[in-house]
Each structure stands twice: as C-alpha cells, then as structure tokens.
Amino acid sequence: MSSTPSPFRLAVLDQSPIAEGSTGAAALHDTVDLARLADALGYERYWVAEHHGSPMLAGASPEIVIGRVAAATSRIRVGSGGVMLPHYSPLKVAETFSTLSGFFSGRIDLALGRAAGTDPTTAFALQRDRRQGAPDDFPHQLAELLAYLDDGLPADHPFARLARTLPGRPELPEPWLLGSSPQSGIWAAQLGLPYAFADFINPAGADVAARYRAEFTPSPRLAAPRLLVAASVVCAESDEEASRLASSVRMAITLLYRGQLIAVPPVETALRFLADEETRPASGLPVIPTPRRRLLVGAPATVRRGIEALAAEYAADEVMLVTITHDHAARRRSYELVAEEFALGDAAREADAA
C-alpha cells in the first residue's frame, strides 16, 4: 500500500445502481451507506446522478438524495452529477439548491448537464407541456440560472426581484458544468465555471480539457480553471478478482448500447454473457460493435497507476470515481482500497488540521 497522497483530489460519483434481484429502494439506502463511508475515508466530494426510467439506476431525483446524503455526512461536499437542466425551470433549480445550501452551508455543489439522462419517450413524459418537444435552449437556461444565483439580472428584468428571494441566502451552491463533448467545455470556459468531464462516457476528452484550460475566462466565482475528470473504476484485492467483479458493468454497458436496459447482473451471469460474446466470430454469429469505454480495473496498485495516468492526461485537479458492481459490499471495498492506496485519510486529517 502506498502512503503518499496524490497531487490531485479524489471524489465519488454514485449513480445508485440497482442490482438484479434487489430494488430501487435498496439502491437508495446503499447510496446513503456509501456516502457515509466516503465521508469517513476522506474523499473530497460525493455527487449523485440523474437518470430516468432506468431499471439499472435509481437516481431520478438528485435534489432529494443530496439532502439525505448531506444530512448523513459531516465533512464531504455533496452535489449533483448532475441536474439535467432541460427538464426544469431555472428558477426552481436555483430555489432548490439555495434551500440545500441554507441547510448545509459550504457543502453543496450544483453540477449541471445538458443531456436528458434517459430515452426520448421518457424525456417527453417528463415535460409539463406536451403539445410539442421542448426547445433546445440550454445556454439560455444556464444563463438565467446563474443570474439568479449571482443576483445578476438587469434591474428592469421581470424576474429581477426573484434572485433576492432565494430561500437559502446568503448561502449558495457552487455551480459546475458537466460534459462529455467539446461544446460543454467551451461554455464552461466562457462563463468561468469549474468543469467536470465524463471520461467514463467518452474516453477521448483530453483535447476538450486542454481547450477549456486554454480558453478559460476568469469570473467572480473562479479565478483560474478547475477541472474534474470522472472515471469508471473497479478495485479489488487482486487484478483477477477486480476483472471478475467488473464483468457485471461490462455486460450492462454492452446491452445499454444495444438498447437493452437491465439491472446490474450477478457476476456469474455476466461472465457467461461475455464468454458468449467472445465466441461470436468463431460461431458465425454477427459481431455487434460496442463503443469503447475506459474502465480502470485491478488491484490497488494497478488502479492507482490508471488513475494517475488519467489525471496526467487531463491535467485534472480532481478525479471522480464511479464504481458499479452487483454486490454493494464489493463496491464499498473498491472505494476503501483506493482510499488506502492514496492515503486519503492522512490527507483529510492534514487538511482539517490546517
């Protein structure tokens, strides 16, 4: 085990995975349990995701989960990874996260995404007005939301007074922008926002990160660029055991790309599925291509090398780990092993002392 803290911080992204044979309710309780562990281990922040209509992920209401997680922890920053803004009124999001900030001063992050977090039919079902599809006006939504937080609407704007009525003032969340494509990085740079790139979705984001840093415009909220990269990680006592555990997420992602949504399968089911996939060419069955995703899998030293390489590739200030296994105990152990390898507890105690 290494005893050397890293030059970058480590954080957790929890998508509240639902294991086959379990329930969404159990997954939500597992999220709170994992958050308590991450808080104790010394992780920097804990973000929960937003997905709708999924048998695999229970995180449909991040704002509710954030409140529960923040109440169950004491030190760690808690936030959204992220809120899918196209589904919402900017004012409602500002009020909700202002309220959370009023309860949990200095601990709430509001990371915002442009994606739907679901399929088109479910996205349409989420709309209040279904006479037509929702407009693609994310930049305007984002500008309005930031103006509420900053009290930056022009005095003659019809909504100007609403910024001053946010219930949690003077406490405010820290806004972030999420992305997995170049456009999100451009917006984050223009607006002077911290930026989180989803490498676990698109493992080709180093150029996006570099452009964000190069084009960053300082803002009242952030003087210099701050970059977080989110990575898919499964860590276990050995490389072999980690590879075995990771078979569950490999199967789920493979089927996701084929339009088949499933709960996180047991390891043995996933191993059989992946073995069958490998025999497709020899059996004459059609080979179905799956887009490449980066997955850092192995024993603690192996995973550390992967995380350090990823952080260097992105010049990241922070690496956020998303871990999906069928067994919740294995997921807990994965985060424990990484925290031990990076000496997170020592780093957290030093920060608290400082």
d(CA 85, CA 181) in angstroms, rounded, equals 17
Domain ranges of the chain: 9-232+294-353
d(CA 46, CA 320) in angstroms, rounded, equals 9
DSSP strands (E only) in the chain: 9-14, 45-48, 77-84, 108-113, 174-179, 195-198, 227-235, 295-298, 318-322
pLDDT digits (tens, 9 = 90+) for 173-217: 999 999 999 999 999 999 999 999 999 999 999 999 999 999 999
pLDDT of the chain, 354 residues: tens digit per residue: 445 667 899 999 999 999 999 999 999 999 999 999 999 999 999 999 999 999 999 999 999 999 999 999 999 999 999 999 999 999 999 999 999 999 999 999 999 999 877 888 888 888 888 788 777 889 999 999 999 999 999 999 999 999 999 999 999 999 999 999 999 999 999 999 999 999 999 999 999 999 999 999 999 999 999 999 999 999 999 999 999 999 999 999 999 989 899 999 999 999 999 999 887 665 555 556 666 789 999 999 999 999 999 999 999 999 999 999 999 999 999 999 999 999 998 765 565 655
pLDDT recorded at residue 349: 58
Strand, coil or helix: what is 152?
A: coil
pLDDT recorded at residue 290: 67
Read off the tokens for 129: 């007005």
Strand, coil or helix: what is 181?
A: coil
d(CA 338, CA 44) in angstroms, rounded, equals 13
d(CA 251, CA 255) in angstroms, rounded, equals 6
As a residue count, the chain comes to 354
pLDDT recorded at residue 4: 63
> 311-315 contacts: CB < 8 A, separation 24 or more?
311/6, 311/8, 311/229, 313/206, 314/197, 314/199, 314/205, 314/206, 314/209, 314/227, 314/229, 315/209, 315/210, 315/213, 315/227
pLDDT recorded at residue 149: 97
The per-residue pLDDT of the chain, averaged, comes to 93
pLDDT recorded at residue 2: 47
Strand, coil or helix: what is 109?
A: strand
Q: What is the DSSP letter of 199?
A: T
Read off the tokens for 21: 């044979």
d(CA 326, CA 17) in angstroms, rounded, equals 8
pLDDT recorded at residue 29: 98
Burial (CB < 10 A; 0-12, 13-18, 19+), residue 175, is buried
Strand, coil or helix: what is 17?
A: strand
pLDDT recorded at residue 243: 98
pLDDT recorded at residue 120: 83
Q: 9-232+294-353 belongs to which CATH class? A: alpha beta
pLDDT > 90: what percent of the chain?
82
Query: CA angle at residue 264 from 262 to 267, to 5 degrees?
Result: 125
pLDDT recorded at residue 291: 67
Query: Do residues 19 and 31 lie in contact, with contact meaning Cβ atoms separated by under 8 Å?
Result: no
Strand partners for 113: 84
pTM for this prediction: 0.92
Token pair 């069928």 in the structure block, residue:
326
End-to-end CA distance of the chain: 25
Q: What is the DSSP letter of 222?
A: B
- The total of other beta-carbon atoms located within 10 Å of residue 22's CB is 16
Read off the tokens for 277: 């996939």
